[in-house]
Structure 1
Amino acid sequence: MDFATLIGLIAAFALVALAVLLGGDATAFFNVRAALIVIGGTFAVTLISFRMSEISTAFSAAWRTLKVVGSHDTATTENLLHMADAHRKEGIRGVERHLPKLRQNVFVKQAISLIIDGINPDEVEQMLNSELSARAQKDVRSAQVLRRAAEVAPAMGLIGTLVGLVQMLADLNDPTQIAPAMAVALITTFYGAILGNMLFAPLASKIERNSQEENAKLLLYATSVAAIGRQESPRRLQMVLNSMLPPAEQIRLYN
């Protein structure tokens, strides 16, 4: 679990809630009309901009931000280097012998299976790069959905403010209606700012970051698989992989 995301969300909302509670009556910050305008309006306007399936995918991606993406799996990378060495020495049987060790990594296992099936390594690399591009585009679209929601939420808050002010001005002759209308005017702005700046925008940024890390990891694996198919030297492959990794994560299998 990505505790940074979870702690950040909890802390942000907890601090606002604490400020509200310390200020007195917290029930004043709960308003059904304001929630309908901001939450319902944000969803409706976002739905105009994107398909329902894209919105559903975006919220699934937002939920996945609570999971740690992490860097490459060192054990998997070292297995790929051993596999490259085995392919040069034993041929395709050497690759097959190491395949069970990759059972936890579906992406790599499927890619290696293509090599075992005799598909040209360049074609395999192209297929893997196309898959990575499709995954990245999907994540970009999910981030766009949340960024659009982050833009719309404060705007809906402003619309709610205008609605509340109009109602207040229309009922100046009735003092009992002024306070509820003013509450809608202020609370909608509050709700819009909260949703846009404390929820949607940060989650969009986290989706983009996780996507970059995930694609960098998969690109590492795709490069390894293509090199195995070409029967490249494992030492050369290690140098290529290390050029893609930060110093702390570099592989030292072949010195």
Structure 2
Amino acid sequence: MDPITIIGVIGALAFIVAGNMMEGGNPMSLMLLPPILIVVGGTIMVSLAGGTLGDAKLAVRGMVHAFTGSAPKVSAVVPTLVSLADKARREGLLALEDALTDVDDPFLAKGLTLAIDGTDPEEVRDILEAEVAAAKADTRQAARFFNQAGSYAPTIGIVGTVMGLVHVLENLAQPEELGHLIAGAFVATLWGVMSANVFFLPVGARITRLGELRAAQMDIVIEGVAALQAGSNPRVVAQRLQSLLPPDQREPEAA
């Protein structure tokens, strides 16, 4: 589990609360249920309205993965691919069938299965690239939900503020209540802006980033499987795959 998203969200809230207290404010004065319901509930509902039930399920899975998932290391599959290339060169592709049980990555396992079954290399590449495209589409849609929510939330907050100000105007005959009512009205705007920039947009960015890293790892797998089918020298396979890695993840000799 990569805790950076949890740390970032909680840390941002902690700084906001600390700043509010340093200015003499009471954090509990911001915890008003009506503005929270208007902003959070309204934002989620209008975000759902712009998509499908399947999109909503993708968004939930994406959010859970954003907070609990680990960032995949692109280079993690390289040693496995090089080892498999060495085995395939010495013993043939069919010898890799026994190694499938030790492969944890389902995408790599699928590529190896296709190669072992004698599927044409071009067809293998097409199938695996289609898998990558589908994964990217799911990631885009999950991130899109939260990015849209981040754009809706401030506007929903303004709606809540206007509703609160209408309530203020209804109570002009009670001047002693106006300060409290006006302050409460602007809490909705605060929650709209804060929820967008502390939760919705960061979660959308996190989903996008995790998807990019996974897609890059899948691209490495495609190249590795292609090299296996071609019977390439393991050293050449290693150099080829290392060249596709980000510079900070390459082995020292390949940097």
TM-score (norm 2): 0.89
Alignment of 1:60-99 (within 5 A): 60-66=61-67, 67-72=69-74, 74=76, 76-99=77-100
| C-alpha distance in structure 1 between counterparts of 2:97 and 2:27, whole Å | 64
Which residue in the other structure is 2:29 paired with?
28
Which residue in the other structure is 2:41 paired with?
40
Structure 1 residues 196 and 108: CA distance shift in structure 2, 3 A: same
Structure 1 residues 242 and 90: CA distance shift in structure 2, 3 A: same
Residue identity in the other structure for 1:70: P
Residue identity in the other structure for 1:30: M
| C-alpha distance in structure 2 between counterparts of 1:251 and 1:88, whole Å | 23
| C-alpha distance in structure 2 between counterparts of 1:237 and 1:26, whole Å | 58
Secondary structure class of the residue paired with 2:74: coil
Alignment of 1:92-111 (within 5 A): 92-102=93-103, 104-111=104-111
Query: Cα offset for 1:186?
Result: 0.7
Two-structure CA RMSD over aligned residues (Å):
2.2
| C-alpha distance in structure 1 between counterparts of 2:85 and 2:2, whole Å | 33
Query: Cα offset for 1:246?
Result: 2.8
Structure 1 residues 228 and 252: CA distance shift in structure 2, 3 A: farther
Deviates more, 1:125-134 or 1:110-119: 110-119
Aligned residues of 1:172 and 1:178 also touching (Cα < 8 A)? yes
| C-alpha distance in structure 2 between counterparts of 1:183 and 1:62, whole Å | 32
Structure 1 residues 247 and 48: CA distance shift in structure 2, 3 A: closer
Residue identity in the other structure for 1:42: T
Q: How many residues align?
A: 252
Query: Cα offset for 1:176?
Result: 5.5
Deviates more, 1:55-64 or 1:36-45: 55-64
Deviates more, 1:185-194 or 1:234-243: 234-243
Which residue in the other structure is 1:202 paired with?
202
Deviates more, 1:131-140 or 1:118-127: 118-127
| C-alpha distance in structure 2 between counterparts of 1:227 and 1:177, whole Å | 75
Query: Cα offset for 1:56?
Result: 2.9
Structure 1 residues 125 and 6: CA distance shift in structure 2, 3 A: same
Query: Cα offset for 1:46?
Result: 0.8
| C-alpha distance in structure 2 between counterparts of 1:11 and 1:233, whole Å | 49
Name structure 1 gaps, 5 residues minimum. none
Residue identity in the other structure for 2:70: V
Which residue in the other structure is 2:56 paired with?
55
Which residue in the other structure is 2:216 paired with?
216
Q: Are positions 1:235 and 2:235 aligned together?
A: yes
Residue identity in the other structure for 1:14: A
| C-alpha distance in structure 1 between counterparts of 2:83 and 2:196, whole Å | 49
Which residue in the other structure is 2:162 paired with?
162
Secondary structure class of the residue paired with 2:70: coil
Structure 1 residues 250 and 47: CA distance shift in structure 2, 3 A: same
Deviates more, 1:226-235 or 1:127-136: 226-235
| C-alpha distance in structure 2 between counterparts of 1:174 and 1:105, whole Å | 67
Query: Cα offset for 1:253?
Result: 9.6
Aligned residues of 1:84 and 1:231 also touching (Cα < 8 A)? yes
| C-alpha distance in structure 2 between counterparts of 1:79 and 1:88, whole Å | 14
Aligned residues of 1:65 and 1:207 also touching (Cα < 8 A)? yes
Aligned residues of 1:164 and 1:183 also touching (Cα < 8 A)? no
Structure 1 residues 105 and 73: CA distance shift in structure 2, 3 A: farther
Residue identity in the other structure for 1:85: D
